[in-house]
């Protein structure tokens, strides 16, 4: 633990300026877009609904950008050698990057967006005097919770799939040295296109749709909504663990 904390402290010191500039840049982009959004509403203050919709969009876009540039030391050979020779194990380096790029991001991005959203609202209130209701925890408590209508297995599937959105670019950053995010997105697009084409060939040219298949007799085939969500949740969890294992093995491979 002491060695891992030293690694954490060292990386935070070396990357403090980059993290500060990234945070300021994120807040600046969000602030400018929120300003244009309020101007398009005839200066009407932004409400909780706009906050939630904007948060979801910014969180996904900037979260993918941040996790897609994990392991920055792997971008050139000199930094890679320096990083791999640090007095820490492969697991400790992997754990630090996972905490910094995914877990911290899951907390920091919503917090920064919340601060920027309220700052933009207070700024406009000073000039137009239309009033602004800051977004807080009480606003979410007062709202109707749509999660109550979602089955538990469906909610777990959504959480696992959402986590996978950030795990995939994280793994791609460990695999590719140059332009990791672009190569990761390209690889995902190729894989999806391959499977879509494969399914289309089986269903259409080969005429699979003409066969009357009893789905209830197929092994591992869900026969109801709950079973479908359970299967998707299981697949998403396995994929997350597999992608993290691939990222870990790529770091270990580089060190060897």
Q: What is the DSSP string of 178-202?
A: SSHHHHHHHHHHHHHHHHHHHHHHH
**pLDDT the model gives residue 219:** 55
**pLDDT the model gives residue 62:** 93
User: How far is CA 168 from each of CA 186, 195, 237, rounded to the nearest angstrom?
Assistant: 12, 18, 13
What residues contact residue 208 under an 8 Å CB cut-off, 6+ apart?
Answer: 202
**pLDDT the model gives residue 133:** 72
**pLDDT the model gives residue 112:** 93
**pLDDT the model gives residue 147:** 54
**pLDDT the model gives residue 2:** 79
**pLDDT the model gives residue 200:** 80
Work out the angle between the directed axes of helices 77-84 and 225-255 (0-180°, nearest 10). Answer: 90
**pLDDT the model gives residue 186:** 93
**pLDDT the model gives residue 29:** 93
Cα 239 from chain centre? 15
For the chain (256 residues), the mean pLDDT of every run of 10, in chain order, is: 80 81 91 88 80 90 92 83 81 89 91 90 76 67 57 78 92 89 92 88 70 58 69 88 93 80
Q: Which string of b and e fits 208-229 if b means at least 16 CB within 10 Å?
A: eeeeeeeeeeeeeeeeeeeeeb
**pLDDT the model gives residue 41:** 79
CA angle in degrees (0–180, nearest 5) for 102-66-73:
95
């Amino acid at each position: 633990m002491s060695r891992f904390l030293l690694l954490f402290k060292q990386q935070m010191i070396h990357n403090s300026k980059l993290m500060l500039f990234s945070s300021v840049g994120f807040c600046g982009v969000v602030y400018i877009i929120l300003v244009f959004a309020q101007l398009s509403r005839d200066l009407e203050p932004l409400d909780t609904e706009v906050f939630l919709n904007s948060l979801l969009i910014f969180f996904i876009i900037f979260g993918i950008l941040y996790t897609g540039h994990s392991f920055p030391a792997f971008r050139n050979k000199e930094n890679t050698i320096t990083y791999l020779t640090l007095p820490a194990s492969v697991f400790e380096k992997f754990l630090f990057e996972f905490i910094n790029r995914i877990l911290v991001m899951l907390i920091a991005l919503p917090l920064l967006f919340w601060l920027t959203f309220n700052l933009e609202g207070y700024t406009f209130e000073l000039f137009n005097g239309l009033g602004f209701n800051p977004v807080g925890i009480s606003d979410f408590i007062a709202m109707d919770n749509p999660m109550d209508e979602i089955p538990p297995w469906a909610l777990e599937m959504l959480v696992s799939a959402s986590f996978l959105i950030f795990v995939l670019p994280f793994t791609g950053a460990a695999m590719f040295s140059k332009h990791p995010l672009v190569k990761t997105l390209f690889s995902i697009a190729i894989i999806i296109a391959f499977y879509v084409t494969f399914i289309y060939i089986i269903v259409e040219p080969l005429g699979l749709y003409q066969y009357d298949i009893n789905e209830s007799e197929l092994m591992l085939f869900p026969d109801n909504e709950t079973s479908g969500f359970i299967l998707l949740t299981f697949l998403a969890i396995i994929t997350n663990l597999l992608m993290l294992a691939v990222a870990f093995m790529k770091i270990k491979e580089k060190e060897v």
